[in-house]
Structures are given as structure tokens and as C-alpha cells.
Amino acid sequence: MTTDLEAIDLFDAAVLDDPYPMYRALREQAPVHRVPGTDFYLVASWAAVTEATQRPAEFSSHLTGVLVAQPGGAPTTFDLDATGQGVHVLATADGDIHAAHRGIVGPALAKRVRTLGPFVTALTERLWAEELDGDRIDWATGVADRLPLAVIAELVGVPGGDAPTLLPLAYDSTEMLGGVVADGRMPALITSAAELAHYAYLAINHAKTRVVQTNSPRTLLEILVASIAAGAIDEQQAVLIVVQLIGAGGESTAGLIASAARLLATDPALQTGLREQPELVPAFLDEVLRLESPFRGHHRHVVADTRLGGVDLPAGSHLLLLWGAANRDPAAYPDPDVVDLHRPRGRAHAAFGAGAHFCIGSALARLEATTAITLLLERTERFGLIDAESPRWVPSLFVRRHATLPLRITRA
């Protein structure tokens, strides 16, 4: 792959599958790089990404535009907030609004996560039993995709049986942010976004009845309804919070669970080591998060004319903070491209974001991934990729997730 930054096609299939040569070139040549012909800047070095997250007054988390591919042409910016009146919640909110939403959702999630272990274990065991077909399992579609959405449904307080319906709606919502939309597919993605918002609206209104009846909010839906009644948020914000939790809440965990299995499938010695020392699974998952960051990056909106990494940034332009590039920066991590289970934990990776916007669901993602990978190791003597069925990545600038991950299993 060429490392001439001006010649790189961000949406080339080879670059989407393996972005790391491009990330290396960006770090070495232009840590803050303007995508030619657009108002988007890629931010790739640990220093520049960290600095951007520490300057929220100049780099807003408001999601106002995304890079999109044009068939046969250069990338362009798709404006998501033409009027400047967009409603932003949680991950895309700033300042006091973000803090208020986090103050509502964060404690509720933390309280429930402490009690979810048995539920996650039982669900993982059920998915394993359902999806294992002889000596074969598609770990991505069978476990990595299904587990997080079912857990999110339990947390939010919607029927678990709705998870299969919510899964494609959730993935469609993040597909739009990934910039790779097949010709003619955008209407279907917009329809999915509308369906997910309508589902959230109906769920919140149904929860209003439960809160009145119980007067003791338990699920996240009920807590949001109580917050509406208290005037802390309005109904539109509550709907968007639910949409964000369902739409993005499963993405990072699905990416982590599948990437962890793929790294193990290609390294039998690492498998053996973790079977012998299962207490190292959390350290392994931290390395997976660093090496294959489930969100390749997040967006920032440039509020006023400023500079970053020696580059002038005009007001109204956009940043894509590349967690996946920063997490492999040798200035932050010696031997950044290898799995090191004993890597010093002094510097946290950026896979879950940074600063005030550090992922609110990180503890839940770790719980689910630890449970799933522990089960995979315990139930197998070994496992590997299937030569005739190569795994596939979802083509996206935004997420790093497997579309398929067929594994050949030798049972323990």
C-alpha cells in the first residue's frame, strides 16, 4: 500500500481492512492531516489526539458531519447539522449537558453492572450452545454480535426478544457514520434510524406507565422517565439517549469480543498461555482494545479558528480522532504492534475515548468480553481460522468490527 498521504484512498478496501500502514504514515509524516478536498482532518499521534481531548472548548463533541465515499471520486463531508440546531446527548454532548446526561445514566449503569455477572454468563453459555455447529462456529455473528445487544436490552428495560430486531437497526445507525454506503442504500439506513428512534419513543412512553405504577424506577428506561418528570431532561433527549445506547452500546463490545477471538485464533501459544493463566485474560483484552480499537475514531467539531499539532484549523471544520492510530504510537507504547500481557498499565489506551467522554459502558464491555473469551478458552482445546472461510471486516472508517469470523473448534 502506498504511504503517499495525498495518494491514499481512505475508502479503498485494502485500507479499510488494514488501516495500520496508513496510520503509521500519518503519525510519521502528518499527525494532523487534512483529507484533500474536504474540511476533515485526521488526527493520528498520541500527543495530538490527547491534546484534542483536553481542549473541549475548541473541539466540540457535537457530531456535525461525517466523511463519506463518493463512487469513483474523492471523499466529501456529509453535513449532519445544517441548521446548527441539532440535539446532542451523552457522547455527542458538551459541557454541562454532557455532565447532566452522564450523571443520570452513569450511576444506573454502574449499579446494574455489579449484578449482571450471572445473567451474562448464562446468556453466553446459551449462545454457545445455539451457535456451535459440530466443530464450527461463526463467533462474530453467533456470539459477538448477539451478546451485547441482549445485555443492552436487559439494562435498558426492553424485552430481550426484541434484540434480534434491534441488532440490524443498531448496526445501520453506525453504518451511516462509517462513510461506506453502497449506492442506493442510504434510504434504507435512514429508515432504520427512524425505526430505532420510534422504538425508543414507544419504549419510553410504555415505561411512563410502569414508573407511575411502581414509583420506584429500576431499569434505565424508568430512570429516564423519572428524569423527564423531574425536569432534568426532555423527552427528545431521553429518546436520543436510548437510541445512542442501543445504536453504539453494542458496537464496541462486539468489536472487542470478535477481535479478541481472532487474535487468539492466529496465535496458538497465546491461547495456551491464557488457558494456563486465565487471570491474564483482562490484560489480554486491554491489549486487544489497544491493537484493534473497536471504534477506529470519534468526531470533533472545530468551534473557532485554532491550531493543533502545528496545523491551522478553521472554525466549522471537523476532526476524526483516530484512537486506532494513537493506540499504536511507539511514542506511547514500546513495540506497539505486539500483544504484551505484561505491558505496564501506567498509560491507559484510548480505545474507550479519553477525558470527560471516557466510555460510560467500559466496565460492561469488559465484563461481557471477559465472560465470552473465558468461555471460549474453557470449552476448547484449541481453535483457529477456517482456510476456506476467511473472516471479513465491516468496511467502515468509524468501527472496527467483524462481519464474519468462522472458527474451527476442537472441544476440550
The reply to whether 388 falls in a domain is yes
CATH of the domain at 379: 1.10.630.10
- The Cα 256–Cα 324 span in angstroms is 13
Per residue in 358-371, pLDDT tens?
Answer: 888 889 999 999 99
Span 176-200, pLDDT tens digits: 888 887 777 888 888 998 999 999 9
pLDDT at 213 over 80: no
Q: Model confidence over 27-39: pLDDT tens digits?
A: 999 999 999 989 9
For residue 266, what are the contacts with CB-CB under 8 A and spacing of at least 6? 384, 385
Strands 40-43 and 318-321: parallel
Return the bridge partners of 321, or none: 43, 298
C-alpha cell, 336: 506497539
Flag whether 400 is in a domain.
yes
Does residue 59 belong to any structural domain of this protein?
A: yes
Would 282 be classed as within a structural domain?
yes
Average pLDDT, the chain: 91
**What pLDDT, on a 0 to 100 scale, did the predictor assign at position 100?**
92
Higher per-residue pLDDT: 92 or 86: 92
pLDDT tens, position by position, 298-313: 999 999 999 999 999 9
Domain that holds residue 88: 13-411
| C-alpha angle 69-291-133 in degrees, rounded to nearest 5 | 85
In the chain, the number of structural domains is 1
Residue 162 within a domain: yes
Q: What is the pTM assigned to this prediction?
A: 0.94
pLDDT of residue 4: 74
In a domain, 169, yes or no: yes
Residue 113 predicted with pLDDT over 70: yes
Least confident stretch, 99-108, 251-260, 383-392: 99-108
Residue 111 domain-assigned (yes or no):
yes
Q: What would the 3-class secondary structure string for the chain be?
A: CCCCCCCCCCCCHHHHHCCHHHHHHHHHHCCEEECCCCCEEEECCHHHHHHHHCCCCCEECCCCEEEECCCCCCCEEEECCCCCCCCCCHHHCCHHHHHHHHHHHHHHHHHHHCCCHHHHHHHHHHHHHHHCECCEEEHHHHHHCHHHHHHHHHHHCCCHHHHHHHHHHHHHHHHHHHCCCCCCCHHHHHHHHHHHHHHHHHHHHHHHHHHHHHCCCCCHHHHHHHHHHCCCCCHHHHHHHHHHHHHHHCHHHHHHHHHHHHHHHCCHHHHHHHHHCHHHHHHHHHHHHHHCCCECCEEEEECCCEEECCEEECCCCEEEECHHHHCCCCCCCCCCCCCCCCCCCCCCCCCCCCHHHCCCCHHHHHHHHHHHHHHHHHCEEEEEEECCECCEECCCCCECCEEECEEEEEEC
pLDDT band at 214 (very low <50, low <70, confident <90, very high): low
pLDDT, one tens digit per residue, over 226-248 is 999 999 999 999 999 999 998 88
Confidence of residue 57 (pLDDT cuts 50, 70, 90): very high
